[in-house]
Structure 1
Amino acid sequence: MSNEILIVDDEDRIRRLLKLYLERESFETHEARDGHEAYKMAMEHDYSCILLDLMLPEMDGIAVASRLREHKETPIIMLTAKGEETNRVEGFESGADDYIVKPFSPREVVLRVKALLRRTQVAHTEQSEPHARDLIEFEHLVIDNDAHRVLADNNQVNLTPKEYELLIFLAKTPNKVFDREQLLKEVWHYEFYGDLRTVDTHVKRLREKLNRVSENAAQMIQTVWGVGYKFEVKSDNEPTQ
């Protein structure tokens, strides 16, 4: 698996700082100064992760992430000085997997990158190892964890890494209610930082993607008002693994 990181920021100082800290951890870094350059590079090469500034010349980070998500599922961590809730939600809706507000600690960025790559590496390793097929099957939804593929009523659903992690975490424990803090800790692995709206935004995107091909599959992800979310199945539709 690639160990290459694309750093996208129009500030030379930010790029140099991230490059320094990432290369200390043996990552290979590439740089882009504007949105058009970033999109072109991301389409032509498979990076492990993209650190993407929101405010960019030529094409902003939201547009880059949205266009990239039409073709690729490369993990994206959004970097921006805009810390308002609306900007965070917009970043996640465009396809970002994580969001860090400037000014940030470069060490925190490195830790977030490493955590994201660790989870991605585990998924790829599990797919390559010979073992009984890892399937979670419901009437309207099948999760093939070996192929990292989701089928809703026999239609493939393309999910980002974080959307997939969220779906499989919920589906492995049907009818159990998880509050937002639990999901943030278990899926995003945040214990001391993180925005609860992150969970809401990803659930919304996951439902929308499922609903495009199967309303029944989308309805399995239920909101428990005032608490959180659950993956709801009827007693005669228990999963098989």
Structure 2
Amino acid sequence: MKESILICDDDINILDVLSSYFEKENFEVYTANNGRDGLIIFMENRPSIVILDLMMPGMSGEELCGKIRGISDTPIIMLTAKIEEDNILEGFELGADDYVTKPFSPRQVVARVKAILKRTKKNESDNILLSYDGNISLNKDSKTLNVRGEERRVTLIEYKLLCSFLENQNKVYTRDELMDIAMGIEVDRYDRVIDTHIKNLRKKIECDNKHPKYIRTVHGIGYKFGGEL
């Protein structure tokens, strides 16, 4: 079965170049030059992965990312000329899985997409239920998170972090180790990037984000799951 990709960018040249590269890799390619059309195409076709530019007319990439993430855990890569850390963090807070800064190598973008899809398929093949204290369970087959009897949607990065936490309870992870688990590729090592993903994950599993019971901060090092500090 063909993988499919939705590419959203208001630069027609970028759409043409990326479309050509992904078609050569046997992807089914959908394109949109604005956020509103991108959302419609996503709803109609449910692609395997989405690449979106942050700065688009009408509906911005940030807004489109938020709308997609509200209904789906489909991997999202941000394509952006905004290289400031705060802009990148904003995209991650909305649920993006990765980012590529302009100018970029089309071959690099293809490689990142393939890597994310490969990890997604690997995760889907593991039919294992992970759980903790009867309140949190994560199905590695369906990537379904259940918290106190309520199903919660998680992004690919949140899923990978939670898998590692549940499989290695009480292990103290450094931020660099968590970046390797979450991203799986070389990215800029902003501590706040992993902190942002942890904050998003805490919102989904903790009763009190200010006094977390599950994902605990180990000051000066990183994070651990469960146990006492």
Unaligned runs of 5+ in 2: none
Are residues 1:17 and 2:14 paired?
no
Q: Which residue of 2 aligns with 1:43?
A: 43
* Equivalent residues of 1:169, 1:187 under 8 A apart: no
Q: Which residue of 2 aligns with 1:155?
A: 150
| Structure 1 residues 192 and 92: CA distance shift in structure 2, 3 A | closer
Letter in 2 for 1:113: V
| Structure 1 residues 22 and 204: CA distance shift in structure 2, 3 A | same
1:47 Cα deviation after fit: 0.6
Unaligned runs of 5+ in 1: 128-133, 235-241
Q: Which residue of 2 aligns with 1:172?
A: 167
Secondary structure of 1:70's aligned partner: helix
1:219 Cα deviation after fit: 2.3
| Structure 1 residues 49 and 101: CA distance shift in structure 2, 3 A | same
* Equivalent residues of 1:207, 1:221 under 8 A apart: yes
Q: How does 1:1-241 map to 2 (within 5 A)?
A: 3-127=3-127, 134-139=128-133, 140-191=135-186, 193-211=188-206, 214-215=207-208, 219-233=213-227
* Equivalent residues of 1:78, 1:99 under 8 A apart: yes
1:146 Cα deviation after fit: 2.7
Q: Distance in 2 between matches of 1:115 and 1:121?
A: 10
Normalising by structure 1, report the TM-score.
Answer: 0.87
Q: Which digits, 9 at most, give the CA deviation of each residue in 1:106-126, with x for residues without a partner?
A: 111111100110011122333
1:192 Cα deviation after fit: 6.2
Q: Distance in 1 between matches of 2:93 and 2:187?
A: 23
* Equivalent residues of 1:178, 1:228 under 8 A apart: yes
Q: Distance in 2 between matches of 1:72 and 1:51?
A: 14
Letter in 1 for 2:129: L
Deviates more, 1:137-146 or 1:162-171: 137-146
1:155 Cα deviation after fit: 1.6
Secondary structure of 2:77's aligned partner: strand
Q: Which digits, 9 at most, give the CA deviation of each residue in 1:152-200, with x for residues without a partner?
A: 1222121112211111112111111111111111231124655443211
Normalising by structure 2, report the TM-score.
Answer: 0.91
Deviates more, 1:100-109 or 1:45-54: 100-109
RMSD value, Cα: 1.9
Q: Distance in 1 between matches of 2:187 and 2:150?
A: 38
Letter in 2 for 1:219: K
Secondary structure of 2:130's aligned partner: strand
Q: Distance in 1 between matches of 2:173 and 2:87?
A: 26
Secondary structure of 1:55's aligned partner: coil
Letter in 2 for 1:187: A
Letter in 1 for 2:47: Y
Q: Which digits, 9 at most, give the CA deviation of each residue in 1:82-120, with x for residues without a partner?
A: 010110011111111111111111111111100110011
